[in-house]
């Protein structure tokens, strides 16, 4: 039972960044804009979130409040960076895949340069700990308490709250309906008075906000406050794209896909705790490859049944209505 608790407690901090970034990609692509730049947005948000924490550490502010403040800074950073994609893809009608790729290539180099110039290192390391040994009240719930609310991070609770809000926005609001309409048939949406350009800007902006938060939560729950400008966010942005596709651009399915990939990653670092796998004598490196191998396998088998938004990646032109 202790092994199960350990796996779940270490899986959730990995799943939440994947979930948030994949949800961000969902909002963008459902509006009709392919967001390949999630990796860059994650790193941008993580860097500025960590920079903020580094700046105010030692001020005597409660760690969880600092976490929330850092989350807001990371969200704003992700939003600002996503505007570059919005402007290029929506206003200038540039190729969305190439634009997203260029955004991914720009940020790791910029972060590394900034870190070398001002910190003489590859990244920013903070000395604040955001780990929670036990959450009040919730940590005392039988079974669920030890699994989800003990030896964890506040990021886990925030992640599931954002998921619930995303589901409500996506399925229960006019905004969500209009967003989906712009990704499926923008001409029809425009004909009933929906501003397609605004909705696409909104979708990409939401992806920037969630991507920035996801990047910061990655640094908190996985790197423990250390943002490395060279290795970035370990390909989590691209893995989030796979999670989004595996989840068929639907929030609940995306959640289960994120949990699946996070479980594989956690399993790779917990082999010593599982006698059956440990006795096989397989090098741990092969287990660390599991999430990425699973990504290729899953996409290979599900790509034919995958149904992306019809207008995804197609710049909207009113003249073609």
* CATH label of the domain that carries residue 119: 1.10.3470
Q: What is the pLDDT of residue 282?
A: 78
Residue 38: pLDDT band (50, 70, 90) is very high
Spell out the residues 6+ positions from residue 319 whose beta carbon is closer than 8 angstroms to its own: none
Q: How confident is the model at residue 229 (pLDDT cuts 50, 70, 90)?
A: very low
Segment 242-271 shows an average pLDDT of 89
Range of the domain at 74: 2-320
Confidence of residue 112 (pLDDT cuts 50, 70, 90): confident
Q: Is the pLDDT of residue 321 over 70?
A: no
pLDDT range class, residue 275, cuts 50, 70, 90: low
Question: What proportion of the chain, given as a percentage, has pLDDT over 90?
Answer: 49
Q: Which is more confidently placed, 189 or 57?
A: 189
CB contact at 8 A, 104 and 210: no
Q: Is 2 exposed, middle or buried (0-12, 13-18, 19+ CB in 10 A)?
A: exposed
CA-based torsion, 208, 211, 213, 215: positive or negative: negative
| Residues paired with 150 in a beta bridge | 134
pLDDT at site 273: 66
With a cut of 60, say whether residue 117 has pLDDT above it: yes
Long-range CB pairs of 127-133, under 8 A, 24+ apart, other chains included: 127/57, 127/225, 128/53, 128/57, 128/63, 128/66, 128/225, 129/63, 129/224, 129/225, 130/63, 130/64, 130/66, 130/67, 130/154, 130/155, 130/220, 130/225, 132/64
Query: Within 10 Å of residue 263's Cβ, how many Cβ atoms?
Result: 20
- The reported pLDDT for the residue numbered 230 is 42
Is the dihedral angle over the CA atoms 184, 200, 233, 250 positive or is it negative? negative
Give residue 189's pLDDT. 93
Most confident of 93-102, 202-211, 226-235, 255-264: 202-211
Number of domains in the chain: 1
Reported residue count of the chain is 321
Average pLDDT, the chain: 86
Query: Whole-model pTM?
Result: 0.92
Q: What is the pLDDT of residues 63-106, one digit of tens each?
A: 889 999 999 999 999 999 999 999 999 999 999 999 999 999 99
């Amino acid at each position: 039972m202790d092994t199960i608790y350990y796996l779940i407690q270490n899986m959730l901090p990995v799943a939440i960044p994947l979930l948030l970034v994949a949800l961000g990609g969902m909002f963008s692509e459902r509006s009709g804009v392919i967001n390949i730049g999630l990796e860059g947005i994650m790193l941008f948000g993580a860097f500025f979130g960590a920079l903020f924490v580094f700046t105010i550490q030692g001020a005597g502010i409660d760690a969880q409040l600092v976490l929330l403040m850092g989350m807001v800074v990371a969200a704003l950073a992700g939003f600002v960076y996503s505007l570059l994609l919005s402007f290029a893809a929506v206003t200038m009608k540039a190729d969305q895949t190439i634009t997203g790729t260029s955004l991914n290539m720009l940020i790791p180099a910029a972060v590394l340069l900034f870190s070398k110039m001002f910190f003489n290192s590859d990244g920013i390391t903070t000395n604040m700990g955001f780990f929670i040994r036990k959450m009040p009240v919730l940590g005392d719930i039988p079974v669920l308490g030890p699994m989800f609310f003990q030896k964890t991070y506040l990021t886990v609770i925030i992640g599931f709250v954002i998921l619930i809000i995303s589901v409500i926005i996506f399925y229960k609001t006019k905004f969500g309906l209009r967003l989906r309409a712009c990704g499926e048939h923008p001409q029809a949406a425009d004909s009933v008075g929906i501003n397609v350009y605004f909705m696409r800007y909104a979708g990409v902006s939401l992806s920037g906000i969630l991507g920035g938060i996801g990047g910061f939560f990655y640094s908190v729950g996985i790197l423990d406050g250390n943002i490395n400008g060279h290795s970035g966010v370990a390909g989590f942005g691209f893995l989030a794209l796979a999670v989004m596709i595996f989840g068929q651009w639907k929030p609940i399915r995306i959640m289960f896909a994120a949990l699946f990939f996070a479980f594989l990653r956690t399993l790779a670092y917990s082999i010593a705790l599982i006698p059956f796998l440990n006795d096989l004598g397989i090098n741990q490196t092969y287990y660390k490859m599991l999430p990425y191998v699973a990504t290729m396998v899953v996409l290979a088998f599900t790509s034919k049944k995958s149904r992306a938004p019809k207008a995804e990646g197609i710049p909207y032109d009113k003249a073609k209505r």
